[in-house]
Structure 1
Amino acid sequence: MSYESLLAEQVPELLEQADVVVLDTRDAHSFAQGHLPNAKPADEANIARLIRGRNKAQPVLVYCYHGNSSRDLCRLLGGFGYTQVYNLEGGWQAWASYRDSCYATLTTEPCL
């Protein structure tokens, strides 16, 4: 496998890395309604820019609605030599549940 699955509760730690790239594969309307911090739409221009990039060790987090269709983009990026590619297991739905439960319980974990 050319990528790793990441649980929603692991995302805040990954997002602390300054050079992480976050790609949202959902449609534009869903992206506009909410997205992970610093996420970019996984459109053709952003994907092409990333593929042409020279830093293949740069961490990349990809997510979709439920964590399934984003796997294809993860495999593509791994095929282009990226060594730190992560798929958000459960996608936006898992992230929203994590975020909501994080705030509801006032946990000491970082909430974004």
Structure 2
Amino acid sequence: MSFSHLDHDTLSQWQDNGTAHEVVDIRDPMSFSQGHIPGSYHLDNTSVGDFVERTPQDSTVVVVCYHGHSSQQAALWLAGQGFAKVYSLEGGFTHWQHHHPEQVVRDEGAGPQ
């Protein structure tokens, strides 16, 4: 059981061409609300059980954190839960936001970015 690394250009292509994947963001709630990858799911200790329960094990799962470090631990844990295709986004959300500013959404009422 392991995970792979995914570069931001590949994820951007998946987002653009509709390749099936789940993006889970493990950053703190405030950071998530202030900006995240479209369609991503905020994953924390409260929501992880629901995610594991409702997500098919053959789903492609991409884990996002701030800089691509803690997402590796989370990706390894998800692989251990039986998910076959788990990726850690290289460079994390910080890198994504810098290279793909048009592919960042924020929650309403989250304040200025």
TM-score (norm: length of structure 2): 0.79
Question: 5 Å matches for 1:1-112?
Answer: 2-15=2-15, 16-18=18-20, 20-53=21-54, 55-100=56-101, 112=103
* Partner secondary structure for residue 57 of structure 2: coil
Cα RMSD, aligned residues only: 1.8
Identity %: 33
Partner of 2:109: none
Q: Which runs of 5+ in 2 are unaligned?
A: 104-113
Shift of 1:28: 1.1
Aligned amino acid, residue 67 of structure 2: H
TM-score (norm: length of structure 1): 0.80
Paired residue total? 101
Aligned amino acid, residue 19 of structure 2: Q
CA distance in 1, matches of 2:41, 2:19: 16
* Partner secondary structure for residue 93 of structure 2: helix
* Partner secondary structure for residue 43 of structure 1: coil
Shift of 1:32: 1.1
Is the alpha carbon distance of 1:54 and 1:60 closer, same or farther for their aligned partners in structure 2, counting shifts above 3 Å?
A: closer
Displaced runs of 4+ in structure 1, greater than 3 A?
Answer: none
Residues 71 and 87 of structure 1 are in contact (CA less than 8 Å); yes or no, is this contact kept in structure 2? Answer: yes
Aligned amino acid, residue 72 of structure 2: R
Is the alpha carbon distance of 1:80 and 1:31 closer, same or farther for their aligned partners in structure 2, counting shifts above 3 Å?
A: same
Aligned amino acid, residue 17 of structure 1: T
